[in-house]
Amino acid sequence: MRDTYTTPLNTRYASKEMSYIFSDEKKFKTWRKLWVALAECEKELGLNITSEQIDELKANMENINYEDAKKREKEVRHDVMSHVYAYGLQCPKAKGIIHLGATSCYVGDNTDLIIMREALHIIKRKVINVISYLTKFALKYKDMPTLGFTHLQPAQLTTVGKRTTLWLQDLYLDIENIEFVIQNMRFRGVKGTTGTQASFMELFNGDEEKVKRLDTMVTKKMGFEKEFMVTGQTYTRKLDSIILNTLSEIAQSAYKFSNDLRILQNMKEMEEPFEKNQIGSSAMAYKRNPMRCERIGSLARYIIVTALNPAITASTQWFERTLDDSANKRISIPEAFLALDGVLNLYMNVSENMVVYPKVIESHVASELPFMATENIIMEAVKKGGDRQELHERIRVHSMEAAKVVKVEGKKNDLLERIIGDSFFKMSEEEILSLVDSKKFIGRAPGQVVDFIQQQIKPLLDKSKDILGEEAEIDV
Measured distance CA(37)–CA(217) in Å, rounded: 9
Measured distance CA(102)–CA(326) in Å, rounded: 18
Measured distance CA(320)–CA(309) in Å, rounded: 19
- Catalytic annotation, residues: 151, 281
> What's the longest Cα–Cα distance across the chain?
104
Measured distance CA(450)–CA(232) in Å, rounded: 50
Beta bridge partners of 187: 227
Measured distance CA(330)–CA(112) in Å, rounded: 10
Number of helices (H), then strands (E), belonging to the chain: the values are 20, 4
Helix residue spans in 307-387 (DSSP H)? 308-315, 326-352, 358-383
Q: How many CB atoms lie within 10 A of CB 1?
A: 2
User: How deeply is 322 buried, as exposed, middle or buried, from its count of CB atoms within 10 A (0-12, 13-18, 19+)?
Assistant: middle
**Cβ distance 376 to 156 under 8 Å?**
no
Measured distance CA(272)–CA(474) in Å, rounded: 14
For helices 79-90 and 24-44, what crossing angle results, to 10°? 70
Q: Which residues contact 435 (CB under 8 A, 6 or more apart)?
A: 373, 376, 377, 380
Torsion angles phi and psi, residue 157, rounded to 5: -70, 150
**Cβ distance 111 to 71 under 8 Å?**
no
**Cβ distance 161 to 358 under 8 Å?**
no
- SS3 for 270? strand
Helix residue spans in 189-237 (DSSP H)? 198-203, 208-221
Q: How many CB atoms lie within 10 A of CB 393?
A: 11
* Amino acid identity, position 31: W
Measured distance CA(318)–CA(243) in Å, rounded: 21
